[in-house]
Homo-oligomer: A and B are copies of this chain.
Amino acid sequence: MGEFELLARVRERLPPLGTRVRVGSGDDAAVTVPGGATATSVDAVVDGVHFRRGQASPGQIGHKALAAALSDLAAMGAEPGEAYVVLGAPPDLSEDECVELLDGMVGLARSTGTDVAGGDLTRARELFLALTVVGHAPRAEDFVSRAGARPGDALVLTGELGAAAAGLALLEDPQLATALRVDPPIGGSNSHPADALRARQLKPEPRLGAGRALAAAGATAMIDVSDGLGADAAHLAEQSGVRLRIDAGLAPLAPGVREVAERAGKDPWRLALGGGEDYELLATLPPERLAEARNAVRETEGIELTEIGEALAGEGVEIRLPDGAELKPEGFDQLG
């Protein structure tokens, strides 16, 4: 099958475009009228580096690539707008797998209100995806950067940590699932708790609603937890010029993380704080706006916002584990 036939098949599956996009996929460029400020982020994933084709289905790979890109927009407090997709397709990726991959992506685009406005398809030896996402806000000042934290701000985290790391451990060693207690099925649901952990690794959801809620509630700085809480806190501290003190014991661990970590012979906190890919949001905001932010996050996203530390004058990150030990924020500074 040629490129044009496949592109035509893909285009047929795209949902109708929103009003901002005047010309979509198929011309030299997509035409949009942003009507304010834009936040643009690019994010690439490569087989063998960010995922393994054997472990994740094509649909999951497509979903996760877009989720990781949209998570950057969530961390800006942006309204998602457009996505542009580059797919590097190896010879052994069938046409059906190609379409399945793009379907996974389009499913998330649809549920988040993102227009897939353009793309490029190329041959490659290994499967890769490069996503460009554009988010919107009325004014540039409405976006939340990493650089605005001030001493005295509270440090808050959405949701729970560790599920993605535990899910990855379960994918690599299915035996670890025996660590998890299976509750008797209630009301017909009998999914294994390991499934929820694996789903957080394979099919994460960007916290777009929580990001906008935190921006509206006065977040001074924000970042998504993609490299691990320690590494991402270090980015935020450095770009804001503050010191972040984190009480790791306050950060909620997802159900099952403790059990999987212990069975794998790892410290649950080190797994949860170092593993990354939870795509939760870490933000700073004035303490007097905590209650408002907590309510807004609960309403928009249905998850909890937890205060896990504070911003102080100085530099660097200080993470105290529940046993009193200090965790060094590992620099996940390898290509990846």
Answer yes or no: A130 CB below 8 A from chain B CBs: yes
- Interface segment out of the listed A121-129, A170-178, A182-190, A258-266: A121-129
Q: Which of A2, A27, A84, A85 has the most CB of B within 10 A?
A: A27
Contacting residue for A2 out of B28, B43, B120, B334, CB 8 A:
B334
Tell me whether B40 and A335 are in contact (CB under 8 A): no
Q: Chain B residues near A334 (CB, 8 Å)?
A: 2-3
Q: Chain B residues near A123 (CB, 8 Å)?
A: 46, 49, 335-336
Answer yes or no: A89 CB below 8 A from chain B CBs: yes
- Once A33-B140, A335-B122, A336-B3 are accepted as A-B contacts, the answer to whether A128 and B42 lie under 8 Å apart by CB is no
Answer yes or no: A34 CB below 8 A from chain B CBs: yes
Compute how far the CA of A73 lies from the CA of B27 in the bound complex, rounded to whole angstroms. 11
Pairs A-B, 8 closest by C-beta atoms = A2-B333, A130-B130, A29-B39, A29-B41, A132-B132, A28-B75, A28-B72, A123-B335
Q: Chain B residues near A117 (CB, 8 Å)?
A: 40
Q: Which of A4, A118, A133 has the most CB of B within 10 A?
A: A4
Compute how far the CA of A42 lies from the CA of B86 in the bound complex, rounded to whole angstroms. 7
Known: A2-B334, A6-B335, A29-B78. 4 other contacts (CB 8 A): A3-B333, A4-B333, A88-B128, A124-B128
A87 to chain B: closest residue by CB: B44
Contacting residue for A44 out of B31, B88, B118, B125, CB 8 A:
B88
Tell me whether A2 and B331 are in contact (CB under 8 A): yes
* Chain A interface extent, by class: 35 or more
Q: Render A322-333 as a binary contact track against B, CB cut-off 8 A, 1 for contact.
A: 000000000101
Return A212 CB to nearest CB of chain B, in Å.
Answer: 14
- Interface segment out of the listed A105-113, A141-149, A151-159: A141-149
Tell me whether A28 and B76 are in contact (CB under 8 A): yes
Compute how far the CA of A36 lies from the CA of B76 in the bound complex, rounded to whole angstroms. 22
Tell me whether B124 and A49 are in contact (CB under 8 A): yes
Answer yes or no: A52 CB below 8 A from chain B CBs: no
Q: Which of A43, A44, A45, A121 has the most CB of B within 10 A?
A: A44
Compute how far the CA of A27 lies from the CA of B34 in the bound complex, rounded to whole angstroms. 21
Q: Chain B residues near A333 (CB, 8 Å)?
A: 2-5
Q: Chain B residues near A84 (CB, 8 Å)?
A: 40, 42, 132
Compute how far the CA of A328 lies from the CA of B230 in the bound complex, rounded to whole angstroms. 60
- Once A22-B140, A84-B40 are accepted as A-B contacts, the answer to whether A335 and B33 lie under 8 Å apart by CB is no
A333 to chain B: closest residue by CB: B2
